[in-house]
């Protein structure tokens, strides 16, 4: 039941989970996977968001988001590649406000 709620994007306790709809909007900005498949993008991106929103150290990430080293490595690699900047730019509405 808890996993089903999490998959629907329901906030459980103090954890944050991206919804499938949010992930669909963000997927075009993800770099292509080369070689070994990446671990669950939704879990990792939700973990990165949780860490940044709460001002935590990577080692303080709840275990539900996976290993802290994975969260940090993805954040660092995608940050250096400009992935997060492209996400923000791509999600900004265009046209008159």
| Residue 2 predicted with pLDDT over 50 | no
Structural domain contains residue 6: no
Structural domain contains residue 48: yes
Structural domain contains residue 1: no
DSSP-derived 3-state class of residue 92: coil
Selected residue with higher pLDDT from 14 and 19: 19
Average pLDDT, the chain: 85
Alpha-carbon distance of 77 to 82, in angstroms, equals 9
In this prediction the pTM is: 0.77
Residue 76: give the domain boundaries: 38-92
Which tokens hold the place of 16?
């944050």
Which tokens hold the place of 45?
């991106």
């Amino acid at each position: 039941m808890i996993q089903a709620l999490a998959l629907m994007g329901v906030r459980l306790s103090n954890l944050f989970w991206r919804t499938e709809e949010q992930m669909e909007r963000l997927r075009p900005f993800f770099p292509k996977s080369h070689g070994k498949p990446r671990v669950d993008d939704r879990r990792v991106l939700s973990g990165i968001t949780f860490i940044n929103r709460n001002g935590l150290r990577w080692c303080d990430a709840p275990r539900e988001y996976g290993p802290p080293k994975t969260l940090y490595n993805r954040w660092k690699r995608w940050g250096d590649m400009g992935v997060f900047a492209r996400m923000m730019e791509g999600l900004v509405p265009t046209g008159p406000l």
